[in-house]
């Protein structure tokens, strides 16, 4: 086993590497230019603003909000169940609006998912290994079923620009994580890695489509003059760089500059109306935008524009979710290569004490760890 340092204090050399770009954060993993792992991040309790902010301010990164934890070790079955209930609650609120347009959401699938999580949690409290494995495999079968259900639901909602496609997409992520977590508890690391790889491909394809819907046919609207100080080209560029890291602010601007033209009142009004027609429901319907007999009112158009920073944050969150999911596979590969059990990995703790034990802890290999 390669020696590991576990601490609450991030080493200065890693902060410097993040600041100068020689190191990058991919979800909860810090890697060098060769892809070797130099550090893992793990939440302890609920990270405070100061613990996250210290890292962000130095390295010019943002630990964006995400439904997923930074490390797979911090998203056990109880955490997955909590996230699942949050998503179900969000759908229940949306359902109140959807009923007005005669559309219903079938939430029964969430009850089946919760039952599968209960089965998984009970499995790993059993004393007999044979019973534990048999029960875990039963839970895995139900998670596989959930993956197919939520992939199908996500696709159907994406096809109609629905405002609930993101909830189904995040539920799909949780289904894959729950399945892989079972394999990890069973010390079946190779299978867990394979399932994360397969899940990553299916999830990223859908996240890419979802972000495309939110960017709309006129992404330049995210730089609307009224949003000065709320959105900027740097943030928009990072959205595009998720799929193409070689893009720069200049090249992204060239991609979207066709949206510029002489902005006399009639032209600008027509452009905004055309753009509004292309918006997915997640931007318009969920906000109860003001409409009149002729459609969206002038006040409603202003509301839509003012809601764009929130939509940009939503895209950043989905990209962060993708990166954290990718980091889970890297974490499982590392556990396997280090030759330790999943239980030992979970029990890693800093030797120093920290009041309240809330924040981020850092797991650092003695030498950069290659996982190729």
* pLDDT of 161 over the 60 cut: yes
Average pLDDT over residues 84-93: 90
Report the predicted TM-score, pTM, of the whole model to 2 decimal places. Answer: 0.86
d(CA 175, CA 324): 15
C-alpha angle 248/234/330, rounded to 5°?
75
Mean pLDDT: which of 282-286, 292-296, 342-346 is highest? 342-346
Banded pLDDT at 252 (limits 50, 70, 90): very high
Sheet strands (E) in 164-288: none
Q: What is the pLDDT at residue 263? A: 54
Q: What is the pLDDT of residues 28-74, one digit of tens each?
A: 999 999 999 999 999 886 544 444 444 443 333 344 577 888 888 88
**Strands of the 359-365 sheet, one edge to the other:** 4-7, 359-365, 37-44, 29-32, 23-26
Distinct helix (H) and strand (E) counts, the chain: 14, 7
* pLDDT of 366 over the 50 cut: yes
Contacts of 148 (CB under 8 A, 6+ apart): none
Average pLDDT over residues 84-103: 78
- The answer to whether the beta carbons of residues 41 and 362 sit under 8 Å apart is yes
């Amino acid at each position: 086993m390669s020696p590991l340092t576990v601490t609450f204090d991030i080493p200065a050399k890693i902060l410097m590497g993040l600041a100068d770009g020689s190191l990058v954060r991919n979800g909860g993993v810090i890697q060098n230019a060769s892809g070797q792992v130099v550090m893992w991040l793990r939440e302890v309790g609920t990270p405070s603003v100061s613990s996250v902010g210290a890292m962000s301010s130095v390295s010019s990164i943002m630990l964006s909000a995400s439904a997923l934890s930074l490390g797979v070790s911090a998203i056990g079955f109880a955490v997955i169940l909590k996230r699942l209930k949050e998503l179900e609650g969000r759908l229940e609120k949306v359902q109140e609006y959807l009923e007005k347009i005669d559309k219903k959401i079938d939430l029964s699938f969430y009850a089946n998912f919760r039952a599968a999580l209960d089965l998984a949690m009970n499995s790993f409290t059993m004393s007999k290994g044979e019973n534990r494995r048999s029960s875990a495999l039963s839970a895995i079968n139900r998670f596989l079923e959930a993956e197919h259900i939520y992939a199908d639901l996500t696709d159907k909602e994406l096809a109609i620009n629905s405002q609930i496609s993101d909830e189904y997409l995040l539920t799909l992520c949780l289904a894959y994580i729950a399945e892989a977590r079972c394999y990890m508890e069973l010390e079946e690391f190779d299978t867990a890695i394979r399932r994360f790889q397969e899940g990553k491909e299916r999830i990223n394809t859908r996240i890419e489509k979802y972000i495309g819907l939110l960017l709309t046919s006129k992404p330049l609207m995210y730089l609307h003059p009224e949003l000065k100080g709320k959105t900027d080209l740097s943030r928009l560029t990072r959205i595009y760089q998720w799929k193409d890291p070689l893009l720069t602010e200049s090249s992204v601007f060239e991609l979207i500059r066709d949206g510029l033209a002489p902005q006399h009142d009639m032209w600008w009004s027509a452009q905004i109306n055309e753009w509004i027609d292309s918006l997915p429901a997640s931007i318009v319907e969920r906000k109860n935008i003001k409409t009149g007999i002729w459609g969206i009112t002038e006040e409603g158009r202003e509301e839509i524009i003012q809601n764009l920073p929130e939509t940009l944050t939503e895209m950043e969150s989905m990209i962060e979710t993708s990166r954290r999911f990718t980091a889970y596979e890297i974490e499982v590969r590392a556990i396997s290569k280090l030759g330790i059990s999943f239980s030992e990995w979970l029990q890693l703790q800093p030797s120093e004490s920290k009041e309240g034990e809330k924040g981020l802890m850092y797991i650092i290999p003695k030498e950069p760890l290659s996982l190729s």
